[in-house]
Copies of this chain bind each other. A is one copy, B any other.
Amino acid sequence: MTQTSPLAPSSFPKMPAIRGIEMATGEAGVKYQGRTDVLLAKMGAETVVAGTFTKSKTASANISWGRAALKSGKAQVLVVNSGNANAFNGKAGEDSVDRIVNFCAEKFSCDKSEIYPCATGVIGEPLPDEKITACIDNLSKNLQGDIFEDAAKAIMTTDTFAKGATKTAKIDGVEVTINGIAKGSGMIAPDMATMLSYIFTDAAIEQSKLQAIFSQGIEQSFNRITVDSDTSTSDTALIFATGKAGNNPEADLSDFTEKLHELLLELAHLIVKDGEGASKFIEIRVEGAENDMAAKTIALSIANSPLVKTAIAGEDANWGRIVMAVGKSGEQANRDKMSVSVGGIVIAKDGQLNPDYVEAEVTKHMQGQNINIQTNVGIANGTATVWTCDLTHGYISINADYRS
């Protein structure tokens, strides 16, 4: 059994029920024994859904289904199983999705396009979907409102702690709730989504607006984190809005947008904090790039560099590796104007060592759990911030025998 990440929060947040959402979790025994592995969520008939999916070219059958279903913009059922990703198993994978969807459509008397079956776990094995539909059958009799911690647990794979976050926002004076859960620990370099994350709100929002706000938030949160540069075949983030809060859907959404974006960032950070083997949470800020996209590319080049990540694991102020990672990014950098700071301490400026630099000060910062790296590449005004964790013996231990 893997130990809980040292970066885990002390407890799961108290998350209230959301009007229009009921859930249940169960043990289908898809792969894991003695723990829950299926989450069923039933939403009210007026629920709108927005979402993003992995850009992987080998995406799972569930992703193909979800992408098509999302065109309806409506949702009534979410089913998530852990232990088997239902990916790269050909026609069998599509058939599994069909059987789960058909079962749910009949069970809950809704349109197939309102059903979202999601899967996470091992790739390339047939999904025992009959275990999942049998489980759904049981769970449908026992739906409850406030079991978000159970829900977050049921979707875990190599995660060492359940991940959830909650916010309240006001739309035109009406209070609405936003709850989110997420899973992810390895194979984390989301590209238009994360491993799996589900957000639920009782707000009433028009689907196209919800999609726009959500996509914008995903780009600034899940799309800015990386554990190991490996992008999953199953990345999915969905938001369900039941409309039960009864607010005016035409009202100003600025507070809702702000709170939703905060919640997405909180969940994204929790995934980094549960990065496989992680012992440090790292924020990387790039400034002075050609534009914001270039800044993001440079920041991810630093965040994905095994040499930067191992230096941080070793609490070594090896800033030359940061310079190397900027240089390999392919984006413009002015070697003779560059600066590098760690923990707010200027190590190098104008392309060389700061004469006032005292390594012991940076070493002290590196002995902490939260590491800040900042670099200005001296070209223009592009900026970006990304988050990652260090690369430790724990990552190797977890991944050299995960499947076996």
Query: A: which residues have CB within 8 A of B?
Result: 54-59, 85, 87-93, 122-126, 186-187, 189, 191, 228-233, 304-307, 310-311, 313-314, 316, 318-321, 323-333, 335-336, 338, 348, 350-353, 391-393, 395-397, 399-404
Contacts and interface: CB of A to CB of B under 8 A. Distances in A.
A397 B397 CA distance: 13
A320 B123 contact: yes
B323 A400 contact: no
A231 B125 CA distance: 36
21 contacts: A56-B324, A57-B329, A58-B327, A59-B327, A87-B320, A87-B323, A88-B320, A88-B338, A92-B352, A187-B324, A189-B328, A229-B306, A230-B305, A231-B327, A232-B324, A233-B327, A311-B399, A311-B402, A316-B402, A393-B396, A395-B396
B231 A324 contact: yes
A320 B122 contact: yes
A92 B307 CA distance: 25
Nearest to A377: B57
A151 to B, nearest CB: 26
A206 to B, nearest CB: 33
B316 A229 contact: no
Contacts of A229: 229, 304-306
A330 B393 CA distance: 29
Contacts of A126: 353
B189 A335 contact: no
B311 A228 contact: no
A92 to B, nearest CB: 6
A299 to B, nearest CB: 15
Given A57-B329, A58-B327, A91-B352, 4 more contacts: A90-B350, A191-B328, A230-B325, A316-B400
A233 B126 CA distance: 46
